[in-house]
Amino acid sequence: MNLAVFASGQGSNFSAIVNAIKRGGIKVRSVLLVCDKPLARVIGRAQKAKVGVILVRREDFAGRADFEAAIIQRLISYKIDLIALAGFMRMLSPAFVRKYRSRIINIHPSLLPAFKGSHAIKDAFKAGAASTGVTVHFVDEEMDHGPVILQEKVRITSGDTLASLEKKIHAVEHKLYPHVVRLYSEGKIKIRRGKVSISNP
């Protein structure tokens, strides 16, 4: 399997996946980083891990269609089988999603459909929720939506601060996302008519 990880920021989930690959926990032929921010920390992580980087800046293109076409051209040239979104701060167009239907996954720091959006951890904390969690799901045309692959609950205790909750969420993310990528690479995740099944998780 050839994997592309899309990221725009710190890249901790990117590193979690790459580290699992290096340990032999995920069998891939090649892994690639696609990034839209030249100053993103994830680029340094990729360089340190000797992972190839494709930098595609939105401002270099007249419109969204041209921007995505440039990404798709590179994905085709690298024969990418799976796209893992890991803090990629752009919505993919419906046309892009259709082209890679059932081959794009995303990680989100809540138990979807609760607390969608870019401030999910803070929103759950401020709402006084008893628990939140992490979701890995297939991407469809809507934001933070699509068939759920796996979820893991995280309790919010009376002693938690926003910082401690973020730390707990990230710890779960760094285990769950590589696990899902491994299951996909082994052909254990199937999706049919919007329903996900997993064999021998």
Could you give the residue numbers annotated as active site? 108
Q: How far from 129 is each of 28, 66, 109, 112, 115, CA to CA, in Å?
A: 38, 42, 14, 14, 10
- Furthest CA-CA distance within the chain: 51
Q: How far from 40 is each of 11, 30, 45, 54, 92, CA to CA, in Å?
A: 8, 22, 9, 12, 19
Q: What is the dihedral of CA 182, 184, 186, 187, to 10 degrees?
A: 170
Paired with 34 in beta bridges are 6, 54
Task: Tell the residue number behind the tokens 């089988």, with chain if given.
Answer: 81
Q: Which helix (H) or strand (E) holds 15?
A: helix 12-22
